[in-house]
């Protein structure tokens, strides 16, 4: 097990194909960063939960866990729900560094992604 684990967290869906989308992103990230281990978790509707994913990562040997909320913009989930779950995981694993990133929508690279997407639309 790599020393660093990354947990991608989305809302979760009753539709399996929606949940599989997050797994596809995790798979692409595994190819991009084979030195990190990627897990997925969902806030509602289906599992694994954030707590379960953190517990699995730690059980597999992670000494650093980064929780990445896969949400576009800051909202209740990224301001309240995920931080609460991260804090709970820290309490269960006091010797492990467990951090949380900002949602992807606050990244400056998002502007370039939008421009590229718009430029890619056929006139």
Catalytic site positions? 11
d(CA 32, CA 80): 30
Residues 6+ apart with CB under 8 A from 77: 11, 43, 69, 71
d(CA 91, CA 17): 33
Per DSSP, helices labelled H in 1-123 are 16-32, 50-59, 76, 82-92, 109-119
């Amino acid at each position: 097990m790599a020393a660093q684990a990354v947990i991608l967290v989305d809302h979760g869906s009753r539709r399996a194909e929606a949940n599989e989308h997050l797994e596809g992103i995790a798979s692409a990230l595994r190819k991009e960063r084979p030195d990190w281990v990627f897990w997925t978790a969902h806030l509602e509707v289906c599992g694994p939960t954030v707590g379960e994913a953190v517990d699995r990562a730690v059980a597999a040997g992670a000494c650093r866990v980064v929780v990445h909320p896969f949400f576009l913009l800051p909202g209740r989930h990224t301001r309240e729900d995920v931080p609460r779950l991260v804090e709970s995981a820290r309490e269960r694993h006091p010797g492990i560094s467990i951090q949380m990133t900002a949602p992807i929508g606050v990244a400056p690279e998002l502007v370039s992604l939008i421009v590229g997407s718009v430029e890619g639309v056929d006139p």
